[in-house]
Amino acid sequence: MTQRTIKISYGNHNDKKVIFVKFEKDIQLIQLIKSIPNSGWSPSKIAWYLPKNEINLQILKDKFQDKADIIFEIKDEPAIENILPETISQIEAFKKWMEHKRYSSSTVKTYVDSIRVFLKFYYTKRAEEITNQDMVVFVNDYIIKNKLSFSYQNQIINGVKLFYREIVKSKIEVEKLERPRREYKLPNVLSKEEVKLIIEAPINLKHRAMLSLIYACGLRRGELLNLKPLDIDSKRMLLLIKNAKGRRDRIAPLSPKIVEMLREYYKLYRPKIWLFEGQNAGEKYSERSIQKVLKQAVKKAGIKKPVTLHWLRHSYATHLLENGTDLRYIQELLGHKSSKTTEIYTHVSTKSIQNIKSPFDDL
């Protein structure tokens, strides 16, 4: 299976406003879209559709974010309808408070979207009237009913906790709001041979350098695209990753091999502002474009797995562990705040597991 793409847009079907979800025929994606209540197939549009007034874009993001690249052919979901004007003011105050506290733009958007979804569910109530029991009803009738993930439920609760603690003094007792039991999923990891095939697949030097640097330093997609030429310290053989997740800076070691590739790339492209720029000088390379680069590389490499850019980061961490790197150093290199986050790679490392002899061999 090659990297899959889903296109999401607004439209009309049988005189009703709907959200269209379009992708090439894929059994797993079809099963996912069918699991959403009131989904349907439109032969004329050659796309699946969902009632616009019964679902929001966050549900679709959460359903498909790990399964395919999502392309939104719409700007943003329209403003929440049918909620009280004072509630809208409180949401705006919440947004301004987070911006004042210097939360990252992605966190602000995530929490504001979360609180909007929750308050829209109780659009007839003032925010101050909502209770802890209302949260229980919301989880059962909205999150569980729509088969949304543990992480999405946790995200909603985090947003509600912060909103009610800082903006609304109400009947909700923030301390008693319980997050869902943690879901444990193993990270997807490629073999070194598969990584080599992927990063050597592109003919274009820029494309090869981007994929190589993600793996060579365990970068997140946004961290790669935010790099500037001065962030590469070739004398100390270090990469400076500024303002990464959680607004933390960190450094990662650079290998002579990747430094040589980056020098060759710099001489050829001469980037002005960003290390990797788009077609126009000074324009940051787009997230959508780097996803396409990976998709083409995976296809050319003949790999049948639904590889994402984050798989390269997971593979970097796992391969470090298998090479004997201490887990504490891997935590620092990845920029993890908690060691528990890094410990998950011990469950996918094959170094020790492969040495275990199966009792089947003694039969």
Active site residue 263: no
Task: Please tell me the distance from the alpha carbon of residue 187 to that of residue 230, in angstroms, as a whole number.
Answer: 32
Phi-psi region of 43 (alpha: psi -120 to 50; beta: other; left: phi over 0): alpha
Q: Is the CB of residue 311 less than 8 Å from the CB of residue 188?
A: yes
How is residue 357 annotated by DSSP? P
Contacts with 326 (C-beta within 8 Å, 6 or more apart), sequence order:
none
- Structure token pair of residue 100: 């004042």
From the candidates 13, 52, 319, 336, give the one annotated as an active-site residue: 336
Beta bridge partners of 19: 10, 50
- Phi and psi at residue 280, in whole multiples of 5°? -100, 135
Task: Please tell me the distance from the alpha carbon of residue 330 to that of residue 43, in angstroms, as a whole number.
Answer: 50
From the candidates 7, 161, 206, 310, give the one annotated as an active-site residue: 310
From the candidates 152, 265, 316, 345, give the one annotated as an active-site residue: 345
From the candidates 245, 284, 292, 300, give the one annotated as an active-site residue: 245
Active site residue 310: yes
Q: Which of 177, 146, 149, 132 is nearest to 62 (CA)?
A: 149
From the candidates 116, 207, 313, 319, give the one annotated as an active-site residue: 313
Active site residue 313: yes
Beta bridge partners of 232: 239
Phi-psi region of 301 (alpha: psi -120 to 50; beta: other; left: phi over 0): alpha
Q: Which of 315, 314, 285, 232 is nearest to 241 (CA)?
A: 232
Active site residue 345: yes
Specify the DSSP element, H or E, that contains 33: helix 27-34
From the candidates 4, 7, 220, 292, give the one annotated as an active-site residue: 220
Kindly list the catalytic residues: 220, 245, 310, 313, 336, 345
